[in-house]
Amino acid sequence: MLSLVLMLSAPPLPAQSGARPERPRLPRGADTADAMVYRMLGIEQLRRDPAQARAAFYWAGRLDPETAEYPYAQYVATLLDDQSLLRLFMRERGRRDRRLAAHDTLLDRAHRLSPFFHPFLDAQLINEWAIREAGASLRRRGLSQVRDDDPALEFEVTTLLQREPWFRPVLDLSRGNFAAALRGWAMVIELHPRLAEPRIERARAFYLAGQPDSAHAELVVALRMLRGSDADTIRLYYQNRSGWEYATGLIFEALQQPDSAVAAYQRCLTENLAYYPAHLRMAAMHVARGDTAAGLLEMSRAVAVKEDEYLTRFRYGALLQAAGRNDSAEIHLRRAAELEPWAARPRLLLAVTLDATGRRRAAAAEFQAFLDRAARTDRYRPGVEVLLQRWRANGL
């Protein structure tokens, strides 16, 4: 359901939007540096305590700021924590009200991190809305107590979910039933041939199902509708074409068509020069082709348009470090660590950069900072622990 939402043109915040919630308490022995632990806590608490779930997803995103699922999940929890906000979202599809716009940076960030992220919580969002609405309806009709297993509640929920034709494919996609979702979106397209959204959602389902060629076919039609006048604008929420041009580039990369991917990213940047994910992908493609200089140039453009974004700083610093330009790499990696102080990876690359310039004591401090932030399962942790032990044994 949340994927039936406008990809906003406003730039995201450097980390997560809103005031920082208190870090949730975890069970004894749990790894407080593991984003997946907070993700599981958020899923567990989503219905029982949406505010706690929102805090858990927030902290998962602080520990792992490159995963689209976390800001998306925080958005879902925000809706479930406010009944009036949830009703507004379901009624208006979330794009017409100032109250909802206050949280749009979360969803925008998810799309910029990965436009084809799996909306794994959409089913829970829709079901919870339906349960609340059905319960309220029954109480208005004189049923004082409504249990979850009440047949009347089940009937009301089923009736609500049959009201809109796109509920079924949204539920199927969320639950990972891609084949059923594809069939469902095909039926919605037949019912609403002038809508671009169902085609975009079918493209998402194709992409997640490992069929990028079919995803491309659907997205081409949707983009043509968005560019022209043949789209029904009454329910049109995909007004930011640059984001979907970017998504087309990802599809071409999956199809191993780099030239077409670059062309798509260039179209994205023509629409919106500040859409930094396109700069990042073009930089990565240049490097993959062996043209590090072009990659560095594209990375510098990404930083120029979004200098206070963790991702642009971290990726640029990483590329500079790999190219042996350690002085410049240090600047960007330090800035990345400032923008997201809970992330472990910038500390690791900063330590490697400092060690390469002969500053072992400073490097050791950053290696320790990495260990303080890295999950127990982090693949680099054992090597760093051994290295630090060796250095300390030798007096650094």
Domain span at residue 394?
A: 344-396
**What is the C-alpha to C-alpha distance for residues 396 and 323, in angstroms, rounded to an integer?**
26
Residue of 376, 391, 272, 394 lying closest to 30 (CA atoms): 376
363: in domain? yes
Beta-carbon count within 10 A of 387 CB: 15
Q: Is residue 377 part of a domain?
A: yes
Assigned domain for 175 exists: no
CA distance 330 to 324: 11
Q: Is residue 369 domain-resident?
A: yes
pLDDT value at residue 233: 41
**Using CA atoms, how far apart are residues 136 and 233, in angstroms rounded to an integer?**
32
Number of structural domains, the chain? Answer: 1
Instruction: Write down the pLDDT at residue 18.
Output: 52
Q: What is the pLDDT of residue 165?
A: 86
Q: Is the alpha carbon torsion for 354, 355, 356, 359 positive or negative?
A: positive
Is residue 357 a part of any domain in this protein? yes
In sequence order, the 6+-apart residues with CB closer than 8 A to the CB of 243 are 7, 111, 112, 115, 268, 275
pLDDT digits (tens, 9 = 90+) for 185-238: 999 999 989 888 899 999 999 999 999 999 999 999 988 887 765 444 433 334
On whether residue 355 sits in a domain, the answer given is: yes
What pLDDT does residue 146 have? 66
Residue segments in the chain with a per-residue pLDDT below the cut of 70:
1-18, 92-98, 101-102, 142-144, 146-149, 228-240
Per the CB < 8 A criterion, the answer to whether 166 and 188 are in contact is yes
Q: Encoding tokens for residue 261?
A: 């991917």
Structure tokens at 349: 């690359």
Q: Give the C-alpha separation, 340 to 75, whole Å.
A: 20
Q: Is residue 283 part of a domain?
A: no
Q: Does residue 380 belong to any structural domain of this protein?
A: yes
Q: Which pTM does this prediction carry?
A: 0.88
State the CB neighbour count (10 A cutoff) for residue 134: 22
